[in-house]
Amino acid sequence: MALVTGGSRGIGLACARLLADSGHSVAVTYRETKPPEEGFLAVQADVRDAAACEAVFSEVERELGPVGVLVANAGITRDSLVLRMGEDAWADVLDTDLTGAWRYAKRAAASMVRARYGRIVFVGSVVGLSGAAGQANYAAAKAGLVGLSRALARELASRQVTVNVVAPGAVDTELLAQVGQKRVAEIVASVPMGRMAGAEEVAGAVAFLASPQAGYITGTVLGVDGGLGMGH
Ligand code: NDP
């Protein structure tokens, strides 16, 4: 079965839909927004809460069996320039985007190692490699995912568990809408393909890395960014 954190909307929901189309039974977590009724097991859990993480795994394992695919997608932004950034904005983003992902990956890895099979996909960002003014907390968290995934990839490789990062550029979701139309227009102008991605285009990359066909790909960062990052 496949577990997607933050699967109530945006990229997470698109991943859940595509993984279900690929034949997985799917569970999604969410913080506040209930996902649409589409046959997924939906569990409310804040990724910052360690006890809730344990409860999520107990419930999905009981209902759907062991987690063979984890998509650690839940993420937030709290943008401001470093000189104005408060401790809470820094901690909130690191706790959600990096520590939350580590928590779910750690728990998923335990059963994947036993099964001698697994796919962990972290949803990072092009910003984790390029940086972005006003997003030091987010860039640090997303860069952290790259190091986390590569360390974990090395730890789990002999058990045929792969660990990878998908790094989207600008994706048309509520998260990006928060930055405002003017900023979105500036970002899009810098994208070689001249447009945002649809969430389903990111999901396509996630579903590929989660598939049996991607069994020899581990420790990679796959950009889905219309050429914005060009591999960096
Ligand atoms: P959305 O804001 O549309 O969705 C975010 C999802 O994460 C929601 O399901 C939300 O749940 C959930 N979530 C947020 N905080 C928590 C939490 N503490 N615990 C559990 N769930 C939580 O964002 P996107 O779909 O755009 O983003 C998904 C991922 O993609 C993020 O990691 C983001 O950083 C990354 N990304 C997005 C890009 C973009 O341009 N949109 C570009 C690059 C990366 P709820 O609805 O209940 O709040």
Domain borders along the chain are 2-224
> Which amino acid does the sequence have at 95?
D
Distance CA 157, CA 140 (A): 25
Q: Which of 9, 123, 5 is nearest to 67 (CA)?
A: 5
Between the CA of 213 and the centroid of ligand 1 the distance, in Å, is 27
Domain 2-224 has CATH 3.30.450.150: no
pLDDT reported for residue 177: 85
Structure tokens at 161: 């568990």
Residue 204: how many other CB atoms lie within 10 Å: 16
Percent with pLDDT over 90 in the chain: 91
Chain-wide mean pLDDT for the chain?
96
Residue 80: how many other CB atoms lie within 10 Å: 14
Tens digits of residue pLDDT in 68-111: 999 999 999 999 999 999 999 999 999 999 999 999 999 999 99
Q: Which residues contact 95 (CB under 8 A, 6 or more apart)?
A: 48
Between the CA of 114 and the centroid of ligand 1 the distance, in Å, is 30
Q: What is the mean pLDDT of residues 21-37?
A: 95
Q: Which of 185, 197, 184 is nearest to 79 (CA)?
A: 184
Which ligand 1 atom lies nearest to the CA of residue 77?
34
pLDDT reported for residue 180: 83
62 pLDDT more than 90: yes
216 has catalytic annotation? no
pLDDT reported for residue 232: 80
**By three-state DSSP, how is residue 65 classified?**
coil
> Which amino acid does the sequence have at 193?
M
Tens digits of residue pLDDT in 124-161: 999 999 999 999 999 999 999 999 999 999 999 999 99
49 pLDDT more than 90: yes
- Does residue 197 contact residue 171 with C-beta atoms inside 8 Å? yes
pLDDT reported for residue 6: 98
Between the CA of 145 and the centroid of ligand 1 the distance, in Å, is 15
Query: Beta-strand (E) ranges in 37-160?
Result: 41-44, 69-72, 118-123
Please state, in angstroms and as integers, the Cα–Cα distance from residue 16 to each residue in 6, 30, 77, 82, following that order.
10, 12, 22, 35
Between the CA of 158 and the centroid of ligand 1 the distance, in Å, is 31
Distance CA 141, CA 107 (A): 19
Tens digits of residue pLDDT in 156-201: 999 999 999 999 999 999 988 888 888 889 989 999 999 999 999 9
231 pLDDT more than 90: no
Residues in the ligand 1 pocket, defined by CB under 6 Å: 5-6, 8-12, 29-33, 46-48, 73-76, 96-97, 123, 125, 168, 170-171, 173-176
pLDDT reported for residue 106: 98
Structure tokens at 49: 């809460």
Which ligand 1 atom lies nearest to the CA of residue 124?
44
Please state, in angstroms and as integers, the Cα–Cα distance from residue 147 to each residue in 56, 68, 125, 212, 225, following that order.
25, 22, 13, 24, 20
